[in-house]
């Protein structure tokens, strides 16, 4: 039924990519990427303690063998991917090193008085441990005395257990520093929408695409995302205000809080004794996302721009080196200032021009189709859309101010895709007529139109192999043309799943148990409420008291949760006299249950949980929770 083989670039894609090649590259970018190189891992493969695959930089050797840009890759993206593909240990300046290329993010090591000050320990403990091994071998073997989390995304804290231990942190041998609100945002940002966001992330990052010129080549911020769950250790020091200064293992640091920029909790910081400026992920060697295609809260482009401007005012005159959580550094006061000014102006331009045209009554789709990135930004690697994309960022700005709705009442309550698809097929004169028209458009290179039309055909009849294969073909060509790595990955993932089918649905398993163990009681109950099967609990009204034995003396010691009008509510700090039951449990044990390490029944039998009153009241709640499966369809019903 399905064709599995990737296809070559059509003549229209070849022409598109030849035209996209018409700009001079800045040779300084390649110099910056290579600067300070010391050594790389002899073997690219990184596995976990059970031998399971985590990542393999050797899979991307095709980006380093000097070949010409293939016809199946946008030449601008190819160039960016070849820069990201440089991997290994690099000396940034005296006393500071980075390991790049074994994770989507960078890990930075600074020599403190007694050990390493580590900035952003990657996504996985296994990639972080591999990076630390390079430092041990080629620089110096030292303990980690400080870990700094720049912000609340998993690729910047998930590998913390690869550079330190909970025991060292608890004993005070290692401090963990993060912006205020980090723990709340880290656990909260992806919990409510975790299952759907994880599935959509496979389209953004393309981990199931085979590395190669017709498949996966890059993620924009780095080559690829490692496999495996992130870990988490709670901060021991919260940065509370801009201008706060700390001495961390003998290293002086001045912090700048930047909430609601690239992450809800994020910070930049400056090393005044050395002239080093860390811009976290607020600046990168690419245009960033104002909302990622995996989904997230829309980021504040106006605030983002203003915080970069504040960084310029606070630090630029003293900064000799600028480094970030992704890609490569920038050296020299003049280049640092120019870099920051362009980054500042990029986010301000996208914000202002989107809203200027919106105030003329244009819709998000119209503005995204009309706006073109000015030459001032096109001329630089770091302001082009290799990760974020102008088309998507315009829509993000519009959404933040005006929502998804474009103001046209015809779009207020549209038919769902399957019903609309059937009607479009009928309107076109049947499936064969629609596909014949679409094939003609495909031959003419009108790929955006073909994708729209044939999408209706696929949703009208997902078993029609001709429709699936034509839609796969057109998504593939759009992917080959894309300058944005995330757009390329999404198009090619869509094509692959149309040809091979989506991954089989499997029960959503708990990947990051250490993150769950950091959740607050409120976050646990909020997560449970999203799983409540409303249609099963009509007419049920019940309250259950909770006593958490390891939280005595805090407002979290007592809670009430209850069913009301088919919803689950929670109240902190008290018990309900009319509750049907009271559960006595430790917070730690509840989190083990949520993480699926154990079950309520097992803990009841073992006597570690007690229920006073009507135990069936608890069953009314926990017996009516939905389960989520991975692998749901995206490009078909």
pLDDT one-digit tens code per residue, 130-142: 999 999 999 999 9
59-68, 114-123, 194-203, 391-400 — which is least confidently predicted? 194-203
What tokens does 567 get? Answer: 């919803």
Which among 240, 290, 239, 238 is positioned nearest to 262, based on CA atoms? Answer: 290
245-248 and 237-239 strand pairing: unpaired
116-119 and 144-148 strand pairing: parallel
Which among 359, 379, 375, 377 is positioned nearest to 367, based on CA atoms? Answer: 359
155 touches 105 (CB < 8 A): yes
Q: Is the pLDDT of residue 4 over 80?
A: no
pLDDT the model gives residue 438: 98
13-27, 42-56, 531-545 — which is least confidently predicted? 13-27
In the chain, CATH 3.30.1050.10 covers: 513-622
Q: Any idea what DSSP says for residue 445?
A: T
Interval 279-317: pLDDT, tens: 999 999 999 999 999 999 999 999 999 999 999 999 999
CB under 8 Å to 358, separation ≥6 — which residues? Answer: 364, 367, 398, 401, 402
pLDDT the model gives residue 511: 54
pTM for this prediction: 0.95
- For residue 280, the Cα-to-chain-centroid distance in whole angstroms is 15
**What CATH topology corresponds to 28-402?**
Metallo-beta-lactamase; Chain A (3.60.15)
Distance CA 376, CA 355 (A): 20
112 touches 124 (CB < 8 A): no
**What CATH topology corresponds to 513-622?**
Nonspecific Lipid-transfer Protein; Chain A (3.30.1050)
pLDDT the model gives residue 3: 54
25-29, 234-238, 438-442, 610-614 — which is least confidently predicted? 25-29
Q: What is the percent of the chain with per-residue pLDDT over 70, rounded to a whole number?
A: 98
What tokens does 583 get? Answer: 């559960």
Backbone angles phi, psi at 322, to 5 degrees: -115, 125
pLDDT band at 188 (very low <50, low <70, confident <90, very high): confident
Q: Is the pLDDT of residue 1 over 70?
A: no
Query: Per the CATH hierarchy, to which homologous superfamily does domain 417-500 belong?
Result: Alkyl sulfatase, dimerisation domain (1.25.40.880)
Mean pLDDT across 25-37: 92
381 touches 328 (CB < 8 A): no
In the chain, CATH 3.60.15.30 covers: 28-402
- Residue with token string 């480094």: 323
Q: Is the pLDDT of residue 519 over 90?
A: no
In the chain, CATH 1.25.40.880 covers: 417-500
Q: Is the pLDDT of residue 596 over 90?
A: no
């Amino acid at each position: 039924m399905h064709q599995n083989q990737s296809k070559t670039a059509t003549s229209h894609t070849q022409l598109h990519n030849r035209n996209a090649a018409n700009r001079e590259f800045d040779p300084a970018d390649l110099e910056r990427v290579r600067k300070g190189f010391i050594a790389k891992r002899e073997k690219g493969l990184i596995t976990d303690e059970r031998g399971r695959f985590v990542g393999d930089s050797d899979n991307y050797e095709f980006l380093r063998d000097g070949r010409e840009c293939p016809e199946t890759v946008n030449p601008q993206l190819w160039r960016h991917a070849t820069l990201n593909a440089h991997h290994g240990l690099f000396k940034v300046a005296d006393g500071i090193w980075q390991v790049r290329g074994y994770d989507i993010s960078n890990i930075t090591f600074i020599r403190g008085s007694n050990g390493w000050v580590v900035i952003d320990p990657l996504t996985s403990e296994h990639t972080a441990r591999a990076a630390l091994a390079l430092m041990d071998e080629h620089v110096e073997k030292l303990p980690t005395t400080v870990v700094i989390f720049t912000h609340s995304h998993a690729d910047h804290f998930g590998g913390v257990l690869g550079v330190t231990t909970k025991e060292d942190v608890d004993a005070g041998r290692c401090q963990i520093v993060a912006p205020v609100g980090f723990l709340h945002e880290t656990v909260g940002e992806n919990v409510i929408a975790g299952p759907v966001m994880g599935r959509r992330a496979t389209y953004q990052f393309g981990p199931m695409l085979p590395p190669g010129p017709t498949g996966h080549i890059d993620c924009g911020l780095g080559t690829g995302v490692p496999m495996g769950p992130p870990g988490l250790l709670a901060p021991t020091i919260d940065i509370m205000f801009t201008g706060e200064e700390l001495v961390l293992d003998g290293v002086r640091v001045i912090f700048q809080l930047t909430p609601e920029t690239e992450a809800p909790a994020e910070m930049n910081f400056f090393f005044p004794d050395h002239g080093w400026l860390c811009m976290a992920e607020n600046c990168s060697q690419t245009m960033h996302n104002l909302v990622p295609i995996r989904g997230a809260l829309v980021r504040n482009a106006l605030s983002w721009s203003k915080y970069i401007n504040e960084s310029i005012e606070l630090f630029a005159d003293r900064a000799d080196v600028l480094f970030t959580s992704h890609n490569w550094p920038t050296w020299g006061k003049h280049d640092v200032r120019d870099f920051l000014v362009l980054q500042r102006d990029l986010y301000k331009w996208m914000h202002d021009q989107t809203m200027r045209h919106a105030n003329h009554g244009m819709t998000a789709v119209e503005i995204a189709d009309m706006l073109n990135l000015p030459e001032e930004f096109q001329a630089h690697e770091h302001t082009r859309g290799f990760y974020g994309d102008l088309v998507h960022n315009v829509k993000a700005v519009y959404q933040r101010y005006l929502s998804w709705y474009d103001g046209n009442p015809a779009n207020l309550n549209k038919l769902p895709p399957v019903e609309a698809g059937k009607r479009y097929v009928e309107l076109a004169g049947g499936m064969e007529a629609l596909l014949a028209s679409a094939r003609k458009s495909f031959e003419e290179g009108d790929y955006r139109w073909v994708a729209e039309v044939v999408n209706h055909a696929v949703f009208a009849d997902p078993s029609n192999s001709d429709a699936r294969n034509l839609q796969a073909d057109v998504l593939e060509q759009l992917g080959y043309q894309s300058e944005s790595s995330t757009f390329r990955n999404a198009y090619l993932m869509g094509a692959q799943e149309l040809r091979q089918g989506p991954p089989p649905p499997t029960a959503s398993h708990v990947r990051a148990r250490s993150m769950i163990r950091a959740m607050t009681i409120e976050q646990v109950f909020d997560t449970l409420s999203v799983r409540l099967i409303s249609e099963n609990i009509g007419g049920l009204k019940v309250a259950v008291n909770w006593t958490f034995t390891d939280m005595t003396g805090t407002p979290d010691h007592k809670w009430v949760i209850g069913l009301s009008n088919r919803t689950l509510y929670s109240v902190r700090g008290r018990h309900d006299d009319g509750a049907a039951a009271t559960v006595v449990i430790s917070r730690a044990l509840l989190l083990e249950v949520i993480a699926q390490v154990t079950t309520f029944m097992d803990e009841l039998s073992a006597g570690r949980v007690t229920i006073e009153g009507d135990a069936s009241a608890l069953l009314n709640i926990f017996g009516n929770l939905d389960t989520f499966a991975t692998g749901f369809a995206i490009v078909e019903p």
